[in-house]
Structure 1
Amino acid sequence: MASPGHQCERHPTDVHDSARSGGSGGPRVPGGPACPVHSPTSAEDKKRNGLRKGLTLRRDYVKISVPESKASRLPSEWWKTVLAFAYAAFNLVLTTVMITVVHERVPAKDSSPPLPDKFFDYIDRVNWAFTVTEVNGMLLVGIWSIQWLFHRYRAIVGRRFFFLIGTLYLYRCITMYITTLPVPGMHMTCAPKLYGDSQAKLQRVLQLISGAGLSINGSHIMCGDFLYSGHTVMLTLTYLFIKEYSPRSFWWYHLLCWLLAAVGSVCILVAHEHYSVDVVVAYFITTRLFYWYHTMTNVQVRALRCSANGYLTHTWWNPIFNFLERNVQTQVPCSFCWPVTWPPACLKNPCKKYTMVQSAREE
């Protein structure tokens, strides 16, 4: 018979036997009473099990937010793209009208010789250089048109391009109207002035439009549209859009387009078709407007659009920007597909870092 002070010790074999029997009861010492052990019904275990259940219940009520589909966050809204295209077309036509007006004010070469230009002092004129500029420009426009056509979100990208090109040419109308520079070289042959012949002026406007304002087509025979360079605008803007909306891994593609744009811009000066300040101002205005606009499309600064301290919103075109970008709730990814809906299926090529403006935030 066990003494009152006897303490039961659990033998390893008894533990296994207890586990095999379903864990009911405690182990027995030969010749002694059942050893009292902690069972699931003890007060301490009840408290512990209750705590576990409480935590489990709390975990069951955790709300998991399901993100919206990318299609609903990037609506096409083609009607806005059509409006942006109309805005760009209007300003391009206005530019041709302004060139015709400014042409009548260009001073004669005899009375107002070309202004001194440091680049012209060191680099002699090359006759065929401006042809290289226009060929490079047509290549970049063609490359960008194909890339834009295959972009999955071409409606959003298209209205951004149309708005920026329209705004840049609107600025160009203002600068070349308020300051008319003399011809940059004595080699330039300008068409005769028409003075009050409105019908002949209209024919010149139509001639400029039909030839896309290119000298290689023989449509640009007027002078006065020097400040700032429209060729530099097209070269720079198409390159920026090509790089912005293509995968970062296509470095060879970006390098090729950069060379086309850079060589084309330099050849403008080599041909003595524009003053150096015309090219510099065109590059500066184009890049600043492009970076400004795409910074404002960043999700991070979206809250600044309605903020009093959002200096990015202090532009005259901010209401137009809000109209065009109001429903674009995320960044436009590098995703491409066939421009028509027939097979093969769309091919996706997402880019984690596709924009210079957003790369720092993503890293």
Structure 2
Amino acid sequence: MTDEAAIDLVSLSPVDQKPINGSSPPPEKIKCLLAFGVTVLGTGFASAMIVLNNDRVPMTQPPLPDFLFDLFPRTEFAFQLAECIMLCLIITMLVIILLHHHKWIIFRRIFVMMGLLYLFRGVCVYVTTLPNPRTDKQCATPAGSVMEAWARVFALFSRIGLSVAGQNYCGDLIFSGHTISITGLYLYINEYTPTNLRVLRSASFIFSTFGIFLVLISREHYTIDVIVAYYLVTRMFWTYHTVANFPALQKQSRYNLLCRNFLHPIVVFFECNVGGPVPNEFVSPRTISNYIAGYRPLNFMARTASWWQ
């Protein structure tokens, strides 16, 4: 690493750093579409591994010892309540993104991170099968054919794994997908809202913390599932945004050890044209309502063509 790059890393902060050419970072909607493909691939792969692993769960083996299971009894409807909290966080995050001036950048960051996490989760779910933490859970019966298995994969994928939507598979343990979603949603809400919205930030933190606690006392996951999920999603979020915020870290160097992270080339590909931290700039809700009010079916092709520019 050159002395100039070293000075940049020491002296610049995300607040001082400016996008490339001093202009607003480009939305790059094609990259957002590619990132969405990563999410589809990751969630589809994880769904397939969950369906396959359901047939491998040792039903007669008792649950493994768990410290928090000894402290808190199992609470009915805790898991469903955690999913309701997750849905509220999803709605909040969608509203924030739709009002954000750089929505396409935020969307692709969420898609990339969630897709990679669920790819890794699919591997972890299948390679090590743990006994069910709940002895009274009624697991899905083994699939009778390949077509039935694929139908289950599609159903699980379309319902995003929610138990309130009919998900009932065992062996879906290491690591907790609900903790990934709840923690990730909080991190994005906290990152892409203005600092003066302290009530929203504090509420999202409280609800996400309570949601993770509900996942634990529902006994749908072991404590280690939640710990591993929290560790992975926070480290991936912080690593991705640190490399994206500092263009100097995107350069190959023997002194930049982040280059050895598998995430580094992915961040460089998706964020090379951003040039720094994404400013939290929001459009007026009236702008969106005017766009909807001015929509005409005859203008659909023209709007579609200009959408990718």
- Give the TM bin, normalised by the shorter chain: 0.7 to 0.9
The answer as to 2:234 corresponding to 1:287 is yes
1:278-322: CA deviation from partner (whole Å, max 9, x where unpaired): 0111001100110111111123x6255322211112122322211
Distance, in Å, in 1 between the alignment partners of 2:48 and 2:289 is 45
1:258 and 1:323 map into 2 onto residues whose CA distance is 31
Match of 2:15 in 1: none
Q: How does 1:127-276 map to 2 (within 5 A)?
A: 127-194=76-143, 197-218=145-166, 220-276=167-223
Alignment of 1:38-57 (within 5 A): none
Equivalent-residue separation in structure 1 for 2:288 and 2:229 (angstroms): 42
Pick from 268, 271, 281 the counterpart of residue 322 of structure 1.
Answer: 268
In structure 2, how many angstroms separate the alpha carbons of the residues matched to 1:176 and 1:334? 37
Are the counterparts in 2 of residues 99 and 222 from structure 1 also a CA contact under 8 Å? yes
Secondary structure at the counterpart of residue 297 of structure 1: helix
Residue 176 of structure 1: SS of its match in structure 2?
helix
Given that residues 63 and 134 in structure 2 are in contact (C-alpha distance below 8 angstroms), is that contact kept between their aligned partners in structure 1? Answer: yes
How far apart in 1 are the matches of 2:106 and 2:85? 22
2:283 is aligned to 337
- Structure 2 residue runs of 5 or longer lacking an equivalent are 1-19, 292-309
Q: 1:112-165, CA deviations, whole angstroms, 9 ceiling, x for partnerless residues?
A: 111011111111111111111000000001110110111101111111111001
Distance of 1:83 and 1:237 partners within structure 2 = 20
Residues matched between the structures, number: 272
Alignment check: 8 A CA contact 1:136 1:264 kept: yes
- Look up the SS of the partner of 2:150 in the other structure: helix
* Structure 1 residue 330 displacement after superposition: 2.3
Distance 1:257 1:342, change over 3 A: closer
Distance change in 2, residues 1:254/1:119 (3 Å): same
Q: Which amino acid aligns with 2:51?
A: T
- SS of the aligned residue for 2:251 comes to helix
Pick closer, same or farther for the CA change 1:212–1:255 going to 2, 3 Å. same
Whether the 8 Å contact between 1:140 and 1:235 is mirrored in structure 2 is yes
Q: Which has the higher helix share?
A: 2
Q: Which runs of 4+ in 1 moved over 4 A?
A: 338-345
What residue is the counterpart of 2:252 in the other structure?
A: 306
Aligned-residue RMSD, C-alpha = 1.9
Q: Which residue of 2 aligns with 1:70?
A: 23
Q: Which runs of 5+ in 1 are unaligned?
A: 1-66, 346-363
Q: Structure 1 residue 254: deviation in Å?
A: 0.6
Instruction: Return the structure number with greater relative CO, CA threshold 8 A, min gap 6.
Output: 2
Would the aligned equivalents of 1:149 and 1:339 in 2 still touch at CA under 8 Å? no
Residues 7-39 of structure 1 show CA distances to partners (whole Å, capped at 9, x for unaligned) of xxxxxxxxxxxxxxxxxxxxxxxxxxxxxxxxx
Q: 1:88 to 1:188 in 2, by over 3 A?
A: same
Instruction: Provide the C-alpha distance between the structure 2 equivalents of 1:309 and 1:86, rounded to a whole number of angstroms.
Output: 33
